[in-house]
Structure 1
Amino acid sequence: MALARQEAARLGADGIHVIALAWVDNAGITRVKAVPTDRLPHAATHGVGMSPVFDVFTFDDAITASPHIAGPDGDLRLFPDLDRITPLAAQPGWAWAPVDRLTQQGEPHPACQRQFARRMAARAAERGLELRMGFETEWVVMRPGPDGGLDAEYRGPAYGMTRVVEASDYLRDIVQALRAEELSVLQIHPEYSPGQFEVSTAAGDPVRAADDLVLVRETIRAVSARHGLQAVFAPSVVAGQVGNGCHLHLSLAREGVNLYQGGSGPHGMTHTGESFLAGVLDALPALLAVGAPSPAGYLRLQPSRWAGPFRCWGLENREAAVRFITGAPGESDAANAEIKCFDATANPYLTVGSVIAAGLAGLDAGLRLPAPVQGDPAGQSPPVERLPSTLTEAADRFEHSAMLRDALGEVLHGAVLAVRRAEDERFAAAGPEEITSATRGRY
């Protein structure tokens, strides 16, 4: 209570009047309740009420049901993480805080994704493993048209300086806002599609990485709104075109030593680092239901678009699902792996927690990586295995993954699966245009 009072006083003195208490649901939508700043001590002590049914909301606010969560009954409490309260640079007078969700009896809610991520990170720490993770955020900048439609803004060449010139004020404001929120921006640049950009922020522990991704996304959204624009993070923005990914980078260390360099395994990996990555690659078909959970994501996962639709890994291979990066010569401690097949419809807490669970399973089994793939996996002989090409297939693999069921627990696993099945059924007869149109404005 004392710390919460101090925070409330500090924020109030800085002109903060309202605090957004945010969590991400199983459809990947950031949900929120807000409290006046002077109510922070009460929220930190008693929590803020919310219904458990949010765990079975779909992307379009329809409500499905799981074996453990359904209907209007029950209540949970949202408890803000006081260490992560951040004044929002693009929303004057507002601050943001991620929440942990507890039962009314003060026990961890079994479907709280943030606590799941923390639990998996703790399992790794018990083995002396230190995980650092970071996300690359891609989005398309669009301007609402007079007919209610959206058109891509800043249409200069892919990766071109022309687009940076066109968007220089906008991009400057994004960088300034992120830095004001004490996020470390590594780079920001134009991407392939019209109006598309990417920003990378510094890696951190898994829970912080997920928190940071939520804050980055909502800050970009707010800066865009102040420019009269809309930021679209959906995996399919224009049907048939290259979409948005949300790539996860990870590295593994023990006693501060990077386990992806200096070893005798592939490209300098240690055996521990290799087994962890082999576990992720082994589980990737099931993980896809976590990291690419929307039918729209499978419109993006097409060959020869650098989306990572093939179940393989390679050294600096941007077409493989897992890209291994050694770093530039002399760049100490830079070696890491990038998972390219994930997108921004994913709940980032589910993503980091599930990837850790898969990596630890790889360690337990002593898995080794297959041979790396060079070049475009499409059309190679022998054929390279495709990842699931539909949400139906990915959800089937997720449903039958004993490893993920054990890691998530029956309540959270069941809620995730229920949302996947509901969204899959929602678009069972839909074509690419309908899927893209329906999901584009939600992310």
Structure 2
Amino acid sequence: MGSWAAQQRQEARQLAARLSAEGVRNVALTWVDNAGITRVKTIPAERLAAAAERGIGMSPVFDVFTSDDAITTSEHLGGPDGDLRLFPDLERVTSLAAQPGWAWAPADRYDQLGLPHPACQRQFARRMTERAAAAGLELRMGFETEWVVTRAPAGHPAPGGADEPLDYPCAGPAYGMTRVVELSDYLRDVTEALSVQGIDVLQIHPEYAPGQFEVTTAPGDPVRAADDVVLVRETVRAVSVRHGLRASFAPSVVAGEVGNGCHLHTGLYRDGTSLHRSPDAAWGLAPEATAFLGGVLDALPALLAIGCPSPASYLRLQPSHWAGVYQCWGVENREAALRLITGAPDDPDGGHAEIKTFDAAANPYLAVGAVIAAGLHGIESAAQLPPPQTGDPGVLGVRERARRGIVRLPATLTEAADRLEKSAPLHEAMGEVLHGAVLAVRRAEEAHFAESEDDAIAAATRWRW
């Protein structure tokens, strides 16, 4: 232990010296709470070694913060008592290209005795990744990040209500080259900043809604994928500010319009070989991949409370909007909640699955950890996949959907939270403290917006993510 601590100190000192040589003065240490808000403590760069050795103090009450900064309580967490320590992941320390003089690192949370905090979402994601590795399985995950960009009002006043006018800086059509031309400098700067920070961008392009764009990043280790999506969002936000723009990652920017998703892509491997490319198996899926995806599909109603954690999420989840609101899967079917992507034969990122329901209000560490837990339970229980669906389930009649066994996923946060509460596999994987804190936050969010109209929900949450 002493040798490891000494090595950490030495590495942290070397990092601090490198950051100082690069002109970095402050380091942002982030974690993501159960409402999906990225919270932060910042330290001077020269304090990095001390932070790596002793951590930075923070209250455990953040685990029961809601998206509007109210505080609820769970059986184990809440109130003013207690303290935790934030420890930066030195391997992920990154100089921020769009914030000169700043660096960033994700943090793990421990108690004052050095024991892992049972509600630390990043460590939950790591535990589930290690659980898969113990079974000889490797997960490669990646996110698609969607956002809407608007011009920032003069003087940056506080955001208004439901009638706040949104000034879109581009007027081009959905997916149109016009938007790229109109915001070419902005998109170039987003791509360049991500590249400088070591983020491998696969695609960046306009999306469907007014002012909407999407960036897709390369898959990797699940914990790194969650780190990456946090860094992507904050980089997009920083570049937007430098261009006089505001970026919203909210599930519903304007009620009734297409919202922002944050689709999670998942590939399963054994001994470096994709289990999505078995030539003699149905749909190319090896038995373990079939069972894994079967477990994810079975758990989707409960997983919605993880991946769609806000009442605003359910404004986005509408039939026939490519949001995947029915509990079904399909081969290259963008209306299915679980889409199997076959990919070209020589495509290294081909052969994986996409969960289309999730959005950026989700804590990405919870999202990757819960999906792995559901998939591993599917393998343990020999879960199967029903026949794949083709076409849009939303245009089928109620009787035809029932005949095919297609059911609607939860349409409210309350319904999704009820399913999560009853999910024994997710409860076991998350543990009592984390599971209880997530449910407490979901109940508080639903209660807060219980009497709100759709427009008011969208306006209240528009700039929270």
TM-score by length of 1: 0.99
Q: Specify the SS of the correspondent of 2:128.
A: helix
Quote the residue 2:233 is aligned against: 217
Unaligned runs of 5+ in 2: 1-8
Q: Specify the SS of the correspondent of 2:213.
A: strand
Give the Cα–Cα distance (whole angstroms) in 2 for the partners of residues 265 and 216 of structure 1. Answer: 36
Instruction: After superposing the two structures, state which structure 1 stretch, 46-55 or 254-263, moved more.
Output: 254-263
Q: Deviations over 1:215-251 (max 9, x none)?
A: 0000000000000100000010111000000000000
Determine whether 1:379 maps to 2:395.
yes
Give the Cα–Cα distance (whole angstroms) in 2 for the partners of residues 422 and 276 of structure 1. Answer: 32
Please tell me whether the aligned partners of residues 261 and 333 of structure 1 are also in contact (alpha carbons under 8 angstroms). Answer: no
Please tell me whether the aligned partners of residues 155 and 194 of structure 1 are also in contact (alpha carbons under 8 angstroms). Answer: yes
Q: In the TM superposition, what is the alpha-carbon distance from 1:152 to its structure 2 partner?
A: 2.5
Q: In the TM superposition, what is the alpha-carbon distance from 1:171 to its structure 2 partner?
A: 0.1
Q: In the TM superposition, what is the alpha-carbon distance from 1:144 to its structure 2 partner?
A: 2.7
Quote the residue 2:3 is aligned against: none
Q: Deviations over 1:342-366 (max 9, x none)?
A: 0000000000000000000000010
Given candidates 136, 142, 148, the residue that maps to 1:140 is 148
Instruction: After superposing the two structures, state which structure 1 stretch, 422-431 or 378-387, moved more.
Output: 378-387
Quote the residue 1:364 is aligned against: 380
Determine whether 1:36 maps to 2:44.
yes
Given candidates 69, 79, 92, the residue that maps to 2:100 is 92
Q: Deviations over 1:181-234 (max 9, x none)?
A: 011000100000010000001101000000000000000000000001000000
Q: Specify the SS of the correspondent of 2:401.
A: coil
Q: Specify the SS of the correspondent of 2:228.
A: helix
Q: In the TM superposition, what is the alpha-carbon distance from 1:265 to its structure 2 partner?
A: 3.4
Q: Deviations over 1:1-49 (max 9, x none)?
A: 1111111011101111000000000000000000000011110000000
Given candidates 153, 161, 186, the residue that maps to 2:169 is 153
Quote the residue 1:346 is aligned against: 362
Give the Cα–Cα distance (whole angstroms) in 1 for the partners of residues 401 and 42 of structure 2. Answer: 55
Given candidates 405, 408, 419, the residue that maps to 1:397 is 419
Q: Deviations over 1:248-280 (max 9, x none)?
A: 000000000000112543311000001000000
Q: Specify the SS of the correspondent of 2:327.
A: strand
Give the Cα–Cα distance (whole angstroms) in 2 for the partners of residues 24 and 332 of structure 1. Answer: 30
Q: Specify the SS of the correspondent of 1:141.
A: strand
Give the Cα–Cα distance (whole angstroms) in 2 for the partners of residues 121 and 186 of structure 1. Answer: 24
Determine whether 1:103 maps to 2:125.
no
Quote the residue 2:261 is aligned against: 245
Quote the residue 1:68 is aligned against: 76
Q: Specify the SS of the correspondent of 2:86.
A: strand
Given candidates 305, 308, 315, the residue that maps to 2:321 is 305
Give the Cα–Cα distance (whole angstroms) in 2 for the partners of residues 2 and 276 of structure 1. Answer: 41
Give the Cα–Cα distance (whole angstroms) in 2 for the partners of residues 431 and 313 of structure 1. Answer: 32
Given candidates 429, 432, 435, the residue that maps to 2:454 is 432
Quote the residue 1:277 is aligned against: 293
Quote the residue 2:6 is aligned against: none
Determine whether 1:131 maps to 2:139.
yes
Q: Specify the SS of the correspondent of 2:202.
A: strand
Q: Specify the SS of the correspondent of 2:328.
A: strand
Please tell me whether the aligned partners of residues 263 and 271 of structure 1 are also in contact (alpha carbons under 8 angstroms). Answer: no
Amino acid at match of 1:187: Q
Give the Cα–Cα distance (whole angstroms) in 1 for the partners of residues 347 and 37 of structure 2. Answer: 37
Quote the residue 1:10 is aligned against: 18
Amino acid at match of 2:50: H
Amino acid at match of 1:393: E
Determine whether 1:202 maps to 2:226.
no
Q: In the TM superposition, what is the alpha-carbon distance from 1:382 to its structure 2 partner?
A: 3.2
Q: Deviations over 1:288-340 (max 9, x none)?
A: 00000000000000000001111000011001101100102433562000000
Q: Deviations over 1:399-442 (max 9, x none)?
A: 11111110000000000000000000001111100100000011
Q: In the TM superposition, what is the alpha-carbon distance from 1:154 to its structure 2 partner?
A: 1.2
Q: Specify the SS of the correspondent of 1:77.
A: strand
Give the Cα–Cα distance (whole angstroms) in 2 for the partners of residues 235 and 156 of structure 1. Answer: 22
Please tell me whether the aligned partners of residues 308 and 321 of structure 1 are also in contact (alpha carbons under 8 angstroms). Answer: yes
Q: Specify the SS of the correspondent of 1:152.
A: coil
Q: Specify the SS of the correspondent of 1:437.
A: helix
Quote the residue 1:412 is aligned against: 434
Unaligned runs of 5+ in 1: none
Instruction: After superposing the two structures, state which structure 1 stretch, 204-213 or 260-269, moved more.
Output: 260-269
Determine whether 1:175 maps to 2:194.
no
Quote the residue 2:203 is aligned against: 187
Change (3 A) 1:303 1:88: same
Q: Deviations over 1:133-180 (max 9, x none)?
A: 000000000113358543222121000000100010000000000000
Give the Cα–Cα distance (whole angstroms) in 1 for the partners of residues 244 and 395 of structure 2. Answer: 44
Amino acid at match of 1:26: N
Please tell me whether the aligned partners of residues 291 and 341 of structure 1 are also in contact (alpha carbons under 8 angstroms). Answer: yes
Quote the residue 2:5 is aligned against: none
Q: In the TM superposition, what is the alpha-carbon distance from 1:70 to its structure 2 partner?
A: 1.1
Q: Deviations over 1:66-88 (max 9, x none)?
A: 00001000000000000000000
Q: Specify the SS of the correspondent of 1:369.
A: coil
Please tell me whether the aligned partners of residues 319 and 394 of structure 2 are also in contact (alpha carbons under 8 angstroms). Answer: yes
Give the Cα–Cα distance (whole angstroms) in 2 for the partners of residues 99 and 269 of structure 1. Answer: 36
Amino acid at match of 1:361: H
Given candidates 56, 61, 71, the residue that maps to 1:53 is 61
Give the Cα–Cα distance (whole angstroms) in 2 for the partners of residues 333 and 134 of structure 1. Answer: 10
TM-score by length of 2: 0.94
Amino acid at match of 1:125: A
* Aligned residue pair count: 443
Q: Specify the SS of the correspondent of 1:116.
A: helix
Amino acid at match of 2:194: L
